[in-house]
Structure formats: structure tokens, C-alpha cells
Structure 1
């Protein structure tokens, strides 16, 4: 088997099933530097590589090049601020091929997906030194083609997560929000919209908020102030997938006004439509949503109140959207689909 090294930032639990599948195809080693929050089964080799941080820049303490020489292919975390990874591409006598893997564009809580930044020229230059680029979605490809990249070295491993087997029934009675509780996610827009609907509608579904973060205490205070302890449940962090599955099986919709990340895929995988703003923070996952078919994309904050009201009166409409979302996930976004994209990129660089 060919030896593949993935140089990553953290070991996230949602990435492990992807790596386990890839390990069936290659002799896989994954390195991390900033933390490991997973303690389950791993079918790949795992290494911790210490790093030093200089403002936004990250440098590995040891010789990453020396380690890379033991592998046929290195898949590097595609953040250009990880300088040791970028340096791997400039070694003239390197035996390994380099694939850069990531969003391909700047996206953060301060920068919208695809916004132009002063780093764009640097990013394109460094990406051009790789043997192939592996994107989370197909959306960046036209921009890279405009910059003169050849299409054959651009690959897509559509970002996704593994979900458990679940059933979709009409017996749904809640709305769910899942994710870290940051103000940028517009969680208060969700709360205020929910509050507005409560003043007009008798039977509003319970809102389950799953996650922790900077705004946890403030949200708890908001719930107490409005005496909504019986209808808004702040659940904190939940990592147990079986417990998450239970919440999604009961959910009519998943609402996240300000961010559309991997929770989009988790929601779709469980047959729950995802509702978010058109300009939500995203790494490309938002492009999986087909408006009013598998989810809802709205333009103005004020629209969310009417959407929640519509959920109250037209539950079957959202259950149908959830069925469409589930079909889409099963057909195009299972972990096997993501691994197939990675495998194609690896096989390409091995042959060229």
C-alpha cells in the first residue's frame, strides 16, 4: 500500500470516520498539533507534532520535511499560515507529492466565503506549488481556473460527516440549533424571532439549543428573563452521536441564522431541513442546500419570524424537505463520497 501522511491541525471527532475509510485504501498516518478531542477507534497511525505560533503563523518544531520523506503523498492542511507545510513544496529533491486540502478561499467569522483579501495572491502562488489541490466543495474551482490553474490538478472531496441510521416520521415536535455559541452565528436573532412567534402562536415547537461557547451564560440569562425554561432547552455540548440522533429524529428543522458549516450535512443526513441566511458564514457547505426543496435560505433577519410561524402551521412541508435532504445526503454526501474525492487526488499525484 502507498504511504499517505495527513498533516492536520486538530483531531476532530467528525473527521475520524473519514480517515478510517481512507485507511482502508492507503497506509495512513495523521498528525495533529493543536489538540485531540477523540478517544474512540482509529484505524490509522496517529502522531502529535509540536508547533510554535507566531501571531497567526504556525511552524512545526521538528523537521516536517524529514518526516515527509518517509511517505509517498503528503496531504497538508490548506491554511497558508502553516508555514512548515508550505515549505514542503519548495524542496527540490523531495520524494513525496503534496496535496493541499481545505476551503481554498478565505472564510472566517470576520470574512465571508469568497471575499477578496490581501492574501489572495499569496494563496494562489502557494497553491500553485502543490501537485494537486483538494477542495471542500466545487465552488472555488472557477476562481482558480481564472488564475491560470489547470483543471486536472483541482479535485473536490465534498465536506461531510457520518451520521447514524435514523428514521423520518411525522411525529416531530421540536426545532434544533447545534454549534458553538458565538454571537456571530446570530443566535439572538433566532431567540428573538422565536419569542415574537410565541406571542402570536399557541403551539410553538420546543427549541433545543445544543452547544457551548462564549454566549452560553448570556443565553441562559435570556431564557430565564423571558421565563422560557419549558420551551427553550439549553443542552450544552453533546458528543454522543446516539443522543444527537435522538434530537434530530424529533426535529422539524435545524435553524442556524449566521453559520452554515458541517451542521448542514449532519442535519441533512438525519433528514432534517437546514434553515439559514443566504450570506451565512460557511466553508462551502451552504451550497448543498436547495432553497425550499431541502432547506430554506432567507435574505433578511426579519424573515425568520415568518419561517418559524410557517413551521408551526405547515409541519408536513418541512418533513417533506427533510426527506429530500436525506435523499440528497445518501446519494451525494456520505463519507464514502468524500473519501472517493480524496482517493482520486492521491492517485492523480502518484501517476504524475
Structure 2
């Protein structure tokens, strides 16, 4: 049993299960956060985890200095810090391990999403140096685990397989009534329904492609469910086939909407929302990662033609959406659910503990 100090910007609702289950595996685990609760709420996060400790810090042009004394003065065996080269205190703690003698695990994506295409070929030298100094690494996804293990074959590096809280309930869910009745309940009449569920806070969501898809598809046949709010959200009110629900916090309503949908569609910046959609048995449709269409690390869960589709361009997107059969969608959705069955918070904890 270990005594752990864990540093995070905040602990959003979708990580509740992971941190709660991890805490049960430790003699003591304290979570330190450097963002305020108000900032977290502004970013659309709902904070549920109890006993979070705010750590004093200074932020300057993307760099972070947090007070090391707070986590050094307690008798922790292990520090789980962020794999982030702009965290100045983390560098200090890595270089002074011979003094404080605490094990350091670094936790993060292991790659820059904004510089992904470059860094998947040429890993960031700053992250490489941090990893060399650390005792172990937690990355989100197997692709980045393989990349860093090729460089550090003897280092304890594990992919946690990023997932969301409540995955078992999502996987078990089946609607109580016929889909036609659900559609009537929410006044959704279109034959084929695409759902988008993400915060409109990032400019990389490629909302322009979402709008173009809405405009180019047959409005009588295709409907769109939109879940999410944010400063970059466009006005969907002029589209009669777009059903905008804003931010949805009612779990029953959200599950109804996912049950109505045939496809999860998010043109860019796909992340953990696709794991939730896969749990509901939806195939994931998005555009291929490029310099203009950025995708988060969870993008590698998508296998085109198996559990979703990756489009080269808008022409292909419209053609496939128009021609694909219901049977193909059901098959891909079933494959997506099968993958989601392996993506449980309990599995994340087991993998994390293998490094601790």
C-alpha cells in the first residue's frame, strides 16, 4: 500500500470513478489541484470528487510553478505529477529526487495534440528528458505507450486506456420503449439521426465542417442532435432538422438522445466523448487527422470501417452518410460497444497500480 500525492489541474466528473477506485488501492492518496473550482466550472467541468486540496501556484504565459513544500513535507512514497514540460516545479522535483527520495510517476497524453503529426515521428525532446528522469509513466493510450517504450524499453510505461465514469451503466443501458416513441417524445422526425456531444469551448472542434455537413445532407432525411454549450457554439436555430439541447445534465434525457441516434458525429478534436458514444453502441464518424483537423489521442480507438468511419474530405463524408446502410451502422455500433466493454475505470486503476 502506497502513500500518494497526485497533481491535476482539476478532477472533472468523467474521472470520478478512476480516482475514487485508485484511492481505495492506497493507504493514503491526496489529490492536489492547481485550477480554481470557478475556472473548472467555466470550462464546463462538473466537480464531484471530495477532499481535493488546492495547491498554491503561479501561472505565467503557460508555465506553472506550484509550491513543492506542500507535497514534500508529508510522508508520501510516490508523487504522480503531470507529464507537462511547462510545469517548472515538476522539473525541480525530478532533478532533486536524490534529495527527497520520492518515486515520481508522470501522467499525461505523452504527445501534443496540436503538434501530433510532427511528434508522432519526432517525439518532443523535453518530454523525452522528463520521462528519462521519472520512475514510471502513465499515458492515456496504447499508441503513445508503444512510441515511448520503443525509446525507453526498460522504463515502466503503461497506457491506462482512457475512459469515462459510469461506463458499466452506459454499457447496460437499453431504452425502455421503442425508438419511434422516443423520437416522438423529443419531436425528432428524421429517418437517420447523428448526435454531437461535446463542449463548444475548443476552436478545434471544426464546427465549420459540422455546419457544412448539416447544409449538404438532405434535411428531410437526416437529423442532428446537439448536446453541449460554449463560447464557440454557432446558432443552430435556422436549421429545422437540428435539435439543440444545450448542456444536458439529466442522465435519463442524455441516454434517450443517444438511443435515438444512429451515428456519433464530431468532425474534429474527438476525445473521451467517443468512448461514451461507443458504450451506447454508436459508430464514430469523424474526419482524418491532419494539420487542419486536429484530433485528441482517443482518436486511435477508431478503426475505419470497423467501429466508425474516418473521412478524407467533405465529398466522401456526404457520400458515405447518404449511402451507408442501416445494417452496416448496426454492425459498426456493435463493434464499438465490444471495444467499450474493455474500457472500464477498474482496468485503468489496475494498469496504474502496475507502475505504482
TM-score range, shorter chain: 0.7 to 0.9
2:108 and 2:79 map into 1 onto residues whose CA distance is 14
- Superposed CA deviations along residues 205-245 of structure 1, whole A, max 9, x for unmatched, are x21111122322xx21xx34xx32x3202222224444322
| Partner Cα separation in structure 2 for residue 189 and residue 297 of structure 1 | 14
Match of 2:209 in 1: 189
CA–CA separation in structure 2 for the residues paired with 1:175 and 1:321: 14
Q: Deviations over 1:92-130 (max 9, x none)?
A: 22232110011111223xx33553799921221111100
Query: How much does 1:19 deviate?
Result: 0.5
Residue of structure 1 aligned with 2:199, choices 180, 186, 195: 180
Query: After the TM superposition, which parts of structure 1 deviate over 6 Å for at least 4 consecutive aligned residues?
Result: 116-119
For the residues of structure 2 that align with 1:38 and 1:343, how far apart are their CA atoms?
A: 26
Q: Using the alignment, how far apart are the partners of 1:208 and 1:195 within structure 2?
A: 15
- Pairwise CA distance, 1:89: 1.5
* Counterpart in the other structure of 1:136: 140
Distance, in Å, in 2 between the alignment partners of 1:95 and 1:193 is 55
The C-alpha deviation readout for 1:133-191, integer Å capped at 9, x for no partner, is: 111112123432453x1344111111111333312798375211111224422222122
Q: Please, which of 55, 70, 80 is the counterpart of residue 85 of structure 2? A: 80
- The corresponding residue for 1:30 is 31
Tell me the residue number matched to 1:350: none
Structure 1, unaligned runs of 5 or more? 347-352
- 5+ unaligned residues in a row in structure 2: which ranges? 38-44, 181-191
* CA–CA distance in structure 2, aligned partners of residues 113 and 337 of structure 1: 29
Shift of 1:263: 1.1
Contact 1:105–1:113 (8 Å) recurs in 2: no
Following TM superposition, by how much is the alpha carbon of 1:32 offset from its aligned partner in structure 2, in angstroms? Answer: 0.8
2:225 maps to which residue? 208
Partner of 2:127: 123
Pick the aligned partner of 1:40 from 30, 44, 48.
48
Q: Distance in 2 between matches of 1:306 and 1:170?
A: 29
- 1:97 maps to 103
Taking a change above 3 Å as real, the CA distance of residues 158 and 116 of structure 1, as seen in their structure-2 partners, is: closer
Structure 1 residue 53 and structure 2 residue 59: aligned?
yes
Distance 2:218 2:78 in 1: 56
**Matching of residues 313-352 of structure 1 within 5 Å:** 314-330=325-341, 332-346=342-356
Task: Please name the residue that 2:185 is paired with.
Answer: none
* Partner-residue secondary structure (3-state), 1:75: strand
Bigger Cα displacement from structure 2, 113-122 vs 29-38: 113-122
CA-atom RMSD, angstroms? Answer: 2.5
Residue 22 and residue 113 in structure 1: after superposition, are their counterparts in 2 closer, same or farther (change >3 A)?
A: farther
Query: What secondary structure is seen at the aligned counterpart in 2 of 1:236?
Result: coil
- Structure 1 residues 71 and 142: CA distance shift in structure 2, 3 A: same
Q: Distance in 1 between matches of 2:150 and 2:31?
A: 33
Of 163, 175, 185, which aligns to 1:160?
163
